[in-house]
Amino acid sequence: MLHHTESMIRLWEDMDRQASQMEQEVKMMLEMEGRSWGIELDRRKNCRALMEELISHQTSVQESASEVNTEMTWAYVPSDTVSYDTTMPNDYEPYMGGNEHNPSQS
């Protein structure tokens, strides 16, 4: 017969608390990812159900996008409707990490 010591019980309680906190964090991360895909997930569901719902939504979005066959930008705007200014300014000088602003060298 096993006798549970107080330290074993505390260890079990700590593990249970940490698992619960991790589950809440994962649910919040899934909810944020869902919002970025245009779906609102219900955190009252378990993590597995949220993940399955998110994957299903992502698959349907990707399938519908492939049917339309348009290249998308980060903001979900078709790239052919956006004009980007990609020219570099003439006075642009990249920072190279030098000490040109160090007053002790003046």
Per-residue pLDDT of the chain (106 residues; tens, 9 = 90+): 556 788 888 898 999 999 988 998 999 999 988 888 888 999 899 999 999 999 999 898 888 766 655 554 555 555 666 566 666 667 777 767 655 555 555 4
Domain ranges for the chain, please list them.
6-83
| Residue 33 burial (CB count, 10 A) | 15
Q: Which two tokens stand for residue 14?
A: 């700590």
The pLDDT value recorded for residue 91 is 75
Angstrom distance (rounded) from CA 31 to CA 38: 10
Q: Which two tokens stand for residue 23?
A: 């589950």
